[in-house]
Structure 1
Amino acid sequence: MIDPRGPRFAAAVTTVVMVVVLLTGSGWLALAQAAVFGLTAARPRLGPYGLIYRGLLAPRLGPPAELEPLAPFRFAQTVGFVFATVATLGYLLGSPVTGAVAAGFALAAAFLNAAFGLCLGCEMYLAYRRLAGRPLAARVPVA
């Protein structure tokens, strides 16, 4: 279980990064963001944005009111990795339209999570679990 404020912080940072990617067309920055997504999907406790959140912000906040399961977050990071990788390939291999479209999708998803707490990848994962007949609670109150 994870504090949902951490992924929202990470989404806010990702939003800024993806805006810069779109403004500059930097495939190298898209690659850096893809690496962040990949590392965070594989090892959530080692994700750089999560480390910043846990080290600098979480100690200044009260405990979370609810927790979220880790699996939807990991799935969302994997989806972000795919979009950031496509953006990287688009920009670095000479297809800036492909790069911009993929970066735009990553930006939209990150912004929705940062601004409204709507994690599209998480919702996709939870919908899949419901369709598979193995529903998973989206949030659990902290006792």
Structure 2
Amino acid sequence: MSLDPRGPRFSAALTTIVFVAVLLTGSGWLALAQAVIFAIGAYDPRLTPYGLLYRFLVAPRLGPPTDREDAAPVRFAQAVGLVFTLVTVVGYLAGSPVLGVVGASFALVAAFLNAVFGLCLGCEAYLLIRRLRAA
């Protein structure tokens, strides 16, 4: 499966907004909603609500993508995002806001870097792990 690389960046932009809201409100429930989105994305990024918005509302207004990217690194990145978001959820809902802030902050930085600069930290980690396994 391959993806239009603009879709994950669009998703990362929406995720950035969600994590800013999580940090401003301290809402573990909002973080939990984002965790569900990451869980879906770890299975297939095209099936997340953000992926569906991109595919049906944004992509038709853009030209066709000039290239495609493998979905495996994106799925791995979604799984990493899920882990950090679950830390956030546990922190906020268990009464440890410091843990929630730390988890949300790491997730926010990663989403922001992807949205603004196209640097997917989870994707880079996936590729590094593959290279290390091949060596």
User: Any idea what SS the aligned residue of 1:118 has?
Assistant: coil
Displacement after TM superposition at 1:42 (Å): 1.6
Partner of 1:137: none
User: Any idea what SS the aligned residue of 1:132 has?
Assistant: helix
The one-letter code of the counterpart of 2:124 is: E
Partner of 2:63: 62
Partner of 2:89: 88
Deviation readout 1:21-62 (Å, 9 max, x if unpaired)? 000100000000001000111233311100000000000101
The one-letter code of the counterpart of 2:64 is: P
Deviation readout 1:61-84 (Å, 9 max, x if unpaired)? 011111110100000000000001
Q: Which runs of 5+ in 1 are unaligned?
A: 135-143
RMSD: 0.9
The runs of at least 4 aligned residues of structure 1 exceeding 2 Å deviation read none
Q: Which runs of 5+ in 2 are unaligned?
A: none
Partner of 1:38: 39
Q: Figure out how many residues of one structure are paired with residues of the other and give that number.
A: 134
Structure-to-structure mapping, 1:123-134, within 5 angstroms: 123-133=124-134
TM-score for both structures, normalised by structure 1? 0.91
Q: Distance in 2 between matches of 1:6 and 1:45?
A: 8
Displacement after TM superposition at 1:9 (Å): 0.2
Query: Greater helix percent: which structure?
Result: 2
Displacement after TM superposition at 1:122 (Å): 0.2
Identity of aligned residues (%): 67
